Structure 1
């Protein structure tokens, strides 16, 4: 998607270790970058049954209250694994905010704006894409909000 839209980006690949406890922290360690520049893609379901993507640093947790507020909902909970994989076309640990089967509404944590580039999953475990946060925002047609805690 980034290539098609002529967005500057770099692909980073590493060997995924199935025994590692955190996909995101593993990516940061293996690429040798600070955890606050590596972002994980999480999918929540709102009280109206809509799925929404939250993109937050791997060093933080998603605030359900803040992501619900960011999209004008009352409540959000983590979406079921099967629903995430069906909606995005990706397996957990490799969910990318880009190239989903159906582009879900996307909220990117505002901390991304502090970095010249950030890393997000490129669609599978062990594959990351590095790009400017504003470019990711444009590609996903998302918006920024403080959703990490």
Structure 2
């Protein structure tokens, strides 16, 4: 039977605490609050898409177009914006209409940026999941390109 000294035990617990904090910080997503008004979500969606969020997947024909709701589209755009920012809590506010979560909001073929399923192992290297580049599609029902 292996015995640990008090110092070894403390170092082990410290290591576990540090590891869990870095994991949770690396796996957070920014999504729209369920109780936010559609108008406020639309404003946040417009801001995110105009300021660096990659909103192509929420356009008609995109992997995240369905469900075609402002709630769903805002969540995807908010998370994209958050993922391309320094990832501080202030980057996930959108006038109080967003919240950070540690639950991956991806569903079906709609994979949210930052999701573990976005990354795959290829010949010992980690690379983003391959996607074909789409030509711009028509605006979605919320008027976003």
TM-score normalised according to structure 2 size: 0.28
Relative to its length, the structure with more helix (as a share) is 2
Relative to its length, the structure with more strand (as a share) is 1
Q: Which has the larger radius of gyration?
A: 2
TM-score normalised according to structure 1 size: 0.27
